[in-house]
Structure 1
Amino acid sequence: MARITAGVAASHVPAIGAAIDRDQVGTEYWKPLFDGFGWTRDWMSEQRPDVVILVYNDHATEFSLDLIPTFAIGCAETFAPADEGFGARPVPVVQGHPALAWHLAESLILDEFDMTILNKLGVDHGLTVPMSLMFGQPETWPVKVIPVLVNAVQYPPPTGNRCWALGEAIARAVASFDEDLNVQIWGTGGMSHQLQGPRAGLINTPFDIAFLDRLTTDPHALRKIPHLEYLREAGSEGIELVMWLIMRGALGAGVKELHRHYHVPASNTAVGHIVLAVEP
């Protein structure tokens, strides 16, 4: 049967994609950030999954404020990079895994999660930046991807506890899929950052480091963080961290931290990254 073997979390700052596309990876400003993902790229080449369930939030690219699903899943054959106002990123078209995606959609809905099913989806930097960080600039992406989208733009977003429960439901669904697949789940977005208002540029390193620590040492405490605490401690966009909890909830009780990277700043954002392996 299919199995989730690891979880990966990473920020998806749009400026990271721009730095890659403009050949700025080795510059003085950007090199320290990208160096922290070198271990993961090497590990990915050795432990490459068949499918990645990639959790991210749309940034008013596919959805406007007229239509905002709380949870959605992409079930299409392919997902093209979206034009976010300055042209689509020059990255490969994402290949989906419709059979597993439809199985997930059915299982999650019957498990009482109201998933919006997307048979057509343009993917923005929330998805393509993590792919570039993990795989560089290949001609084709080396894995199939199932996008899972979470509302982290319009209040109210889902709670961390609800996201964790969705991760648990995803794990049950994957385990019931009758095909031998190595599956990873990625949570993207975060860490602390605020993009507007008097606190624009807010970075709370102690909060970020504590969050990274708790993913292994006290993960259930993260389920209880209320929206207001994310807003106060991590800024208005720090709520994206609830998507990391979908990843963590899908891994189960036993995990081993394989790699961690934290860098400030990228644009005006803190960048976090962690790799967790499922322990038998």
Structure 2
Amino acid sequence: MARIVLGMGLAHTPQMHTPPEQWQTRIEADRKNPALWFRGKSYKWDALCAERAGENLAVQAEPEERERRHARANAAVEVLAEAWEKARPDVAVIMGNDQHELFVEDVMPAFTIFWGKEVQNMPSRDDQAARKPPGIHVAHHGHAPPQLLTHPGCPELGRHMIEQTMVDGFDVAQSQWLREADQRISFSTGMPHAYGFVYRNVMKDRVPPHVPVIINTFYAPNQPTAARCLALGRSVGKAIQSWDKDLRVAVIGSGGLSHFVIDEQFDHAFMDALVRGDHEATVNHPESWFQAGTSECKNWIAAAGALEGSGLKARVVDYVPCYRSEGGTGTGAGFVLWS
């Protein structure tokens, strides 16, 4: 039977591949954002700044702090990359999400398991780059290579996961090939950046056979709940551990933690629950807390569910709140390793 030998949860924020002196290029988008979610409430810019005025967050967004935190976050990813290289799993299962890179409004599945023979990671076309929000394309190299790379899928495990999750009551979507990006909306072609970040920074573009699990964390009205993501992860874990191959498997959750508004208290409680193995505690907040970028915590939740019963223990590699403004916007960059 297959064995789960490694687990990871990591942020995939573009801030990590944006020069710190350019972090402020995203502030204009923050100012225009009509829904800045913080602790279950939606704020506009001025109201958010007023709400957080007492925290003196501007100090944490000063140039020297940006440089220091940028370096720390990237150093944490290197720790994960070293753990990956040491373990060299045969197969990976990556829990991630899509942000109008693969799926658009013609169809937006809540859960998709990809079981094709291969995936593509590739740079955006010029027209796609032009559609990206300000300050995003500068970080493109952090998840997309300069030229097309094709990576192997794992159809046998993917199909087994689909069959197991269906038995367990999940009507998952399934996919065997990546369609061309929508010319009107999509920001990229090939795999979403949640996966590309892992390919490039953890696996160093040496990607083993793997199964992408795509969770619609962002887009209403069919976002699966955090509890549902935990249950799906447990079903995936059951599938991996019942797969009749003597292979070593890694499970990775890509995304999060709190953003586009950082909530350090939430992030620390979330990671503490993972370290304790109290996965039920990760889903205790109302769904209003899992909105915008913070919704990507659901990818970690699904990964944690899959890692149950593996015997692996979680530890926090680092947590770096990467503030870019006095309103607390930025990314709570967390990094957790199960070994």
TM-score above 0.5, yes or no: yes
TM-score by length of 2: 0.70
CA distance in structure 2 between the aligned counterparts of 1:49 and 1:118, rounded to whole angstroms: 24
SS in 2 for 1:59: coil
How far apart are residue 269 of structure 1 and its match? Answer: 1.7
Tell me the equivalent position of 1:206. 265
Equivalent residues of 2:199, 2:207 under 8 A apart = no
- 2:243 maps to which of 173, 177, 183: 177
- TM-superposed deviation, 1:79: 0.7
Amino acid at match of 1:67: V
Superposed counterparts of 1:38-53, under 5 Å: 38-53=78-93
- Separation of aligned partners in 2, 1:102 and 1:219: 26
Measured in 2, the distance between the counterparts of 1:223 and 1:159 equals 8
Query: Residue type of the partner of 2:2?
Result: A
With normalisation by structure 1, the TM-score equals 0.83
Residue identity in the other structure for 2:273: R
Partner of 2:112: 72
Q: Which runs of 5+ in 1 are unaligned?
A: 20-26, 195-201
Among 155, 165, 170, which residue is 1:108 paired with? 165
Q: Residue 37 of structure 1 aligns to a residue in which SS?
A: helix
Deviation digits for residues 242-270 of structure 1, max 9, x if unmatched?
A: 11111111121654224422113177222
Structure 2, unaligned stretches of length 5 or more?
20-65, 130-139, 179-189, 325-329
CA deviation profile, 1:88-129 (whole Å, cap 9, x unmatched): 921632211111111111221122211111111220211111
Q: 1:166 aligns with which of 224, 228, 232?
A: 232
Determine if contact 2:198/2:254 at 8 Å carries over to the other structure: yes
Separation (CA, whole Å) in 2 of partners of 1:240 and 1:50: 26
Q: Is 80-89 or 145-154 further displaced after alignment?
A: 80-89
**1:142–1:150: structure 2 CA closer, same or farther, 3 Å change rule?**
closer
**Displaced runs of 4+ in structure 1, greater than 6 A?**
none
2:300 alignment partner in structure 1? 244
Structure-2 separation of matches of 1:38 and 1:79: 24
Q: What is the distance in 2 between the residues matched to 1:72 and 1:271? A: 25
Give the letter for the 2:9 counterpart.
A
Q: Counterpart in 1 of 2:61? A: none
Aligned to 2:333: 271
Paired residues of 1:15 and 1:266 also in contact (CA < 8 A) = no
Contact 1:17 1:129 in 2 (8 A): no
- 8 Å CA contact 1:7–1:185 kept in 2: the answer is yes
Instruction: Confirm or deny: 8 A CA contact 1:11 1:130 kept in the other structure.
Output: no
1:227 is aligned, of 267, 284, 287, to 287
Q: Partner of 2:195: helix, strand, or coil?
A: helix
Give the secondary structure class of the aligned counterpart of 1:36: helix
Change (3 A) 1:186 1:261: same
User: Bigger radius of gyration, 1 or 2?
Assistant: 2
Q: 1:225 Cα shift?
A: 2.2
Quick check: 89-98 or 121-130, which moved more? 89-98
Q: Which residue of 2 aligns with 1:199?
A: none
Conserved 8 A contact 2:79-2:317 = no
The verdict on how the C-alpha distance between 1:47 and 1:266 changes in structure 2, with shifts beyond 3 A counting, is farther
CA contact (8 A) 2:152 2:207 kept: no
1:90 aligns with 2:130: no
Q: CA deviation at 1:130?
A: 2.1
CA distances 1:226-251 after superposition (whole Å, capped 9, x unpaired) = 212334xxxx3211111111111112
Aligned sequence identity (%)? 29
Among 135, 142, 156, the residue aligned to 1:99: 156
